[in-house]
C-alpha cells in the first residue's frame, strides 16, 4: 500500500526530578545536602532512510514517545538520561508543524530533532549556600516537547511522466524500466505513483516516476491529481505523454495545454520546468491531419517532440537517450524549503511564557513556567517559599499582576494553589 501523507503526535521524554536528600553516615554529624540531579528526557529524532518508500508505518501508529529521564538519588547520583526515539522515514519526506514546513529529509541519513526532551531537575545540593546550609527542596524535571506533525512524502525522481489517464504512461514506464505497474485499457488504472530505474548506458541511470491522476481541475482537488501533483515538484525533467492516435476522440493540443495549465495552477515554478513531449500511440493513428497539426503546433512553440509507440517500443530508446543527456545539464530544482536547514532547525520554546487573566474576581496565572515553578516548591519549607516569592518577582509575574489591576488581599490562583496577594 502506498501512503504519502500522515499525521502523527510526537512527545519527547520528561526530565527526571532532582532529589532532596541529606548525607547520613556514622560518625558524620552534618553530612549536608547530597540530592542528585535528574536525567534529561529523550529526544524524538527523524532519520531519512532510502530503504523506505512509503509512509505506511505512520498510518497504523499515530503516537511516538521517547523515554523519560530517571530521577536523581541520594549521594549526588545523577538520574539516567532517557533514550532518544529514532523514527525512520523515507527520503523525500517533508515535515510540517502548524501548516509550516520545518524539515525536508532530502538525503539518506538526514536527521531532524522533532521534539526535544525535558531537562533534568536540580537536586537540593545546588541550593546550598553559606546561609542556607540545609535546603529542603529540589527542582522537578521539565516536560518534553509534544506536538502534532504532518508528514508528506514527495517522491525523489529525475524524470516525471505526466499526461492524461490512459495515454500510455504506465506502458512507457514498464518498457524502459523493470517496474511492473498495473496496465489496463481504462482511465485511472494507475492509482499510485510508480517508480522505475532507467539504465542509460555507460553505467548511468536515472529514476522515472509515473504521476497518475492528472485531469482538468486537478490543481483544485478534482480527481486524484491533487493528491499526487506534489510529486512533480521534485522532478528535474518532465516527459509529457500525449495520446496522438485520436482513438478516443481527444485533441492532443488541447490535452497538452490543459495539463500544463493544471501544473502552473498548482505551482507556478512548474511552468519553467524543462519538458519534452512523447507523442504516443503513433502506431494506431486514426486522424493523420490532427496528428500533423499537433506536430506543427509543437514545432511552432519550440517544444521537442519524440514520436513513439510505448506498446511496440518504437522511438522509446531515442527518447530515453535524449532525457539522459538533458539530465546532465539540468540542476536539481530548489524546493520551497530551501531556506530551512533540515538538520539544525529548532522549534521556538515557550517554557518561560505565562498569562494573567481575571476570572470571577480571581486573578489566574497560567503557563508552562507556572507549572514548572509550582512543582519545584516545598510549601512547608521557609527557604523554599522564599525562593518561590523571589522567582515570582524575577520572572515578572508580580509586575504582570499589578498591571492587571490587582489589589491587596485579592486572590491569586496558580494551578491548584490559591493565595492572597500581599504587596
Q: Give the span between the Cα atoms of 406 and 215, in whole angstroms.
A: 63
Partners of 305 in the β-ladder: 277
- Identify the pLDDT of residue 340: 42
pLDDT digits (tens, 9 = 90+) for 229-256: 666 777 889 999 999 998 888 899 999 9
Q: Residue 198 is placed in which grid cell?
A: 532507467
pLDDT at 170 over 80: yes
Alpha-carbon distance 375 to 372, whole Å? 5
Return the pLDDT at 50: 80
Domain limits of the chain? 5-153, 159-327, 355-420
In b/e form, how buried is each residue of 360-399, taking b as 16+ CB within 10 angstroms? eeebbbebebbbbbeebbbeebebbeebbeeebeebebbe
Name the DSSP class of 232.
G
From residue 187, give the alpha-carbon distance in Å to each of 12, 214, 223, 247: 46, 11, 11, 14
What DSSP state is assigned to residue 168? S
| Selection from 202-216, 229-243, 297-311 with the highest mean pLDDT | 297-311
Cα separation, 340 vs 346, in Å, equals 10
Task: Convert the pLDDT of each residue in 268-296 to its tens digit.
Answer: 888 888 999 999 999 999 999 999 999 99
Residue 3 · residue 54 · CB < 8 Å: yes
Say whether pLDDT at 365 is over 80: yes
In whole angstroms, what separates CA 336 from the centre of its chain? 13
CATH of domain 355-420: 3.30.300.350
Q: What is the DSSP letter of 211?
A: -
CATH superfamily of 5-153: GTP1/OBG domain (2.70.210.12)
More confident residue, 293 or 210: 293
Residue 87 — pLDDT band, cuts 50, 70, 90?
very high
Q: Give the mean pLDDT of 418-422.
A: 89
Q: When comparing pLDDT for 377 and 213, which is higher? A: 377
- Please report the pLDDT score of residue 387 as a whole number: 81
Q: Which residues, 6+ apart, have CB-to-CB distance to 396 below 8 Å?
A: none
pLDDT tens per residue across span 331-345: 765 554 444 444 445
Long-range contacts of 177-180 (CB under 8 A, 24+ apart): 177/208, 179/210
243 neighbors 217 (Cβ within 8 angstroms): no
Q: What is the pLDDT of residue 199?
A: 81
Q: Span 159-327: which CATH code? A: 3.40.50.300
The residues that bridge with 418 in the sheet, in sequence order, are 413
Amino acid at each position: 500500500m502506498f501512503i504519502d501523507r500522515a499525521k502523527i503526535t510526537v512527545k519527547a521524554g520528561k526530565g527526571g526530578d532532582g532529589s532532596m536528600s541529606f548525607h547520613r553516615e556514622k560518625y558524620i554529624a552534618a553530612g549536608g545536602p547530597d540530592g542528585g540531579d535528574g536525567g534529561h528526557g529523550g529526544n524524538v529524532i527523524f532519520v531519512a532512510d532510502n530503504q523506505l518508500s512509503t509512509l505506511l508505518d505512520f498510518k497504523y501508529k499515530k503516537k511516538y514517545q521517547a523515554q523519560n529521564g530517571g530521577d536523581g538519588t541520594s549521594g549526588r547520583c545523577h538520574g539516567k538520561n532517557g533514550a532518544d526515539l529514532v523514527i525512520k522515514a523515507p527520503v523525500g519526506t517533508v515535515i510540517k508543524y502548524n501548516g509550516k514546513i520545518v524539515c525536508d529529509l532530502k538525503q539518506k541519513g538526514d536527521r531532524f530533532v522533532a521534539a526535544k526532551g525535558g531537562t533534568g531537575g536540580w537536586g537540593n545540593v545546588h541550593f546550598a549556600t553559606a546561609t542556607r546550609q540545609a535546603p529542603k527542596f529540589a527542582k522537578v524535571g521539565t516536560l518534553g516537547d509534544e506536538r502534532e506533525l504532518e508528514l508528506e512524502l514527495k517522491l525523489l525522481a529525475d524524470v516525471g511522466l505526466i499526461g492524461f489517464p490512459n495515454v500510455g504512461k504506465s506502458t512507457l514506464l514498464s518498457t524502459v524500466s523493470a517496474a511492473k505497474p498495473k496496465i489496463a485499457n481504462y482511465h485511472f488504472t494507475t492509482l499510485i505513483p510508480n517508480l522505475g530505474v532507467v539504465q542509460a548506458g555507460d553505467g548511468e541511470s536515472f529514476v522515472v516516476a509515473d504521476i497518475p491522476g492528472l485531469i482538468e481541475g486537478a490543481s483544485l482537488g478534482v480527481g486524484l491529481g491533487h493528491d499526487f501533483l506534489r510529486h512533480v515538484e521534485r522532478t528535474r525533467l518532465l516527459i509529457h505523454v500525449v495520446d496522438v492516435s485520436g482513438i478516443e476522440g481527444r485533441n492532443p493540443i488541447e490535452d497538452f495545454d490543459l495539463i500544463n495549465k493544471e501544473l502552473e495552477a498548482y505551482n507556478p515554478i512548474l511552468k519553467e520546468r524543462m519538458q519534452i513531449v512523447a507523442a504516443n500511440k503513433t502506431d494506431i493513428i486514426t486522424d493523420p491531419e490532427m496528428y500533423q497539426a499537433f506536430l506543427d503546433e509543437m514545432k511552432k512553440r519550440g517544444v521537442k517532440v519524440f514520436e513513439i509507440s510505448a506498446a511496440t517500443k518504437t522511438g522509446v530508446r531515442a527518447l530515453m537517450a535524449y532525457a539522459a543527456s538533458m539530465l546532465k545539464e539540468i540542476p536539481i530544482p530548489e524546493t520551497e524549503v530551501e531556506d530551512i536547514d533540515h538538520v539544525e532547525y529548532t522549534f521556538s520554546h515557550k517554557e518561560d511564557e505565562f498569562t494573567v487573566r481575571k476570572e470571577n474576581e480571581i486573578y489566574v496565572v497560567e503557563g508552562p513556567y507556572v507549572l514548572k515553578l509550582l512543582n519545584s516548591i516545598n510549601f512547608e519549607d521557609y527557604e523554599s517559599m522564599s525562593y518561590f516569592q523571589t522567582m515570582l518577582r524575577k520572572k515578572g509575574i508580580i509586575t504582570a499582576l499589578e498591571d492587571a489591576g490587582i489589589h491587596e488581599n485579592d486572590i491569586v490562583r496558580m494551578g491548584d494553589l490559591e493565595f492572597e496577594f500581599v504587596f
